[in-house]
């Protein structure tokens, strides 16, 4: 099989001044992509690395925590390279605190970069991709948002919000050739310092970048998927629904719900709906007495 190649493609990678984002940018550039290294710090150094290796890159240092910053990042791609094919939204910050002690600023700052930042970059990028009928978008979610981590309510809510954004953009982008997926990475970076214990040296961001590169490649036909990557392991994460239990045409009692819990919670026969109407179809089948 031939190598996955990005020659002629232009990619924006947010949070690319270090860690996972840097690994994404370096790999895409090594495979021929022209890269906008978007970060408020470290972008120039990564651009120098890419150019030193014979690649093409420009730095975008505006903060994507504002709409103006997101517009500037997209404009950097169009001004320097004349097109935009790929957006990897990787930028993020941590403001860890237990929920009881979390301040308003700690919530707002994290939301502004992770969740609002995705909107700020993608809103100007989206019409460009739609018009050219090609695009690849990769959002960075997290196990904290998907499963929960103590002390990260702000971060987890933002990362779970990105999952919702991915779900909708995948549906809306399909007819325009824009594929949208999410990546849940685990890597040793400044953000995870001290969290990975004695295995930290096994979680090089270089393990994550190839998964991201595949998901934003022309060869990838996946959309509406979440992949987990870290330490050399790659897995799928998904939101599904069980077939459920039909409690009858009349409103049930709380006791009936309690009695049906074993069936409600059983994972046997679960399905992964393609969009929000998928679960409605399951409910309809139950109401009509059809087999799910």
- With a CB cutoff of 8 Å and minimum separation 6, the contacts of 276 are 167
Burial 257-292 (b: 16+ CB within 10 A, else e): eeeeeeeeeeeeeeeebeeeeeeeebeeeeeeeeee
Judged on CB neighbours under 10 Å (0-12, 13-18, 19+), 191 is middle
Judged on CB neighbours under 10 Å (0-12, 13-18, 19+), 41 is exposed
Burial 86-121 (b: 16+ CB within 10 A, else e): bbbbbbbbbbbeeeeebeeebbebbbbbbbbbbebb
Of 155, 214, 246, 270, the catalytic one is 155
CB 121 within 8 A of CB 73: yes
How far, in Å, CA of 133 to CA of 24, rounded? 24
**Catalytic annotation on 270?**
no
206 DSSP 8-state letter? G
Q: Which residues are catalytic?
A: 155
């Amino acid at each position: 099989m031939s190598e996955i190649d990005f020659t002629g493609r232009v990619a924006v990678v947010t949070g690319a001044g270090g860690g996972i984002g840097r690994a994404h940018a370096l790999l895409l550039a090594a495979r021929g992509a022209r890269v906008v290294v978007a970060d408020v710090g470290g972008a120039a150094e990564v651009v120098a690395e890419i150019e030193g290796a014979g690649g093409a890159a420009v730095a975008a240092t505006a903060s994507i925590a504002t709409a103006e910053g997101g517009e500037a990042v997209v404009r950097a791609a169009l001004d320097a390279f004349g097109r935009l094919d790929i957006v990897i939204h990787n930028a993020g910050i941590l403001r860890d605190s237990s929920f009881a002690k979390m301040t308003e600023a700690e919530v707002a700052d994290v939301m502004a970069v992770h969740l609002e930042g995705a909107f700020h970059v993608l809103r100007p990028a989206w019409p460009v991709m739609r018009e050219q009928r090609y695009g690849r978008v990769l959002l960075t979610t997290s196990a904290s948002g998907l499963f929960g981590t103590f002390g990260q309510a702000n971060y987890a809510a933002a990362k779970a919000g990105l999952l919702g954004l991915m779900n909708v953009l995948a549906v809306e982008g399909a007819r325009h050739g824009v594929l949208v997926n999410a990546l849940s990475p685990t890597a040793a970076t400044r953000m995870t310092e001290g969290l990975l214990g004695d295995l930290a040296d096994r979680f090089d961001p270089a393990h994550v970048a190839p998964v991201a590169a595949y998901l934003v490649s022309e060869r990838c036909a996946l959309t509406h998927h979440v992949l987990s990557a870290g330490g050399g392991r790659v897995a799928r994460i998904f939101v599904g629904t069980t077939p459920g239990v039909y409690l009858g045409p009349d409103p049930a009692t709380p006791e009936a719900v309690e009695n049906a819990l074993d069936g409600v919670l059983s994972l046997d026969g679960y399905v992964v709906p393609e969009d929000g109407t998928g679960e409605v179809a399951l409910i309809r089948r139950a109401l009509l007495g059809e087999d799910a």
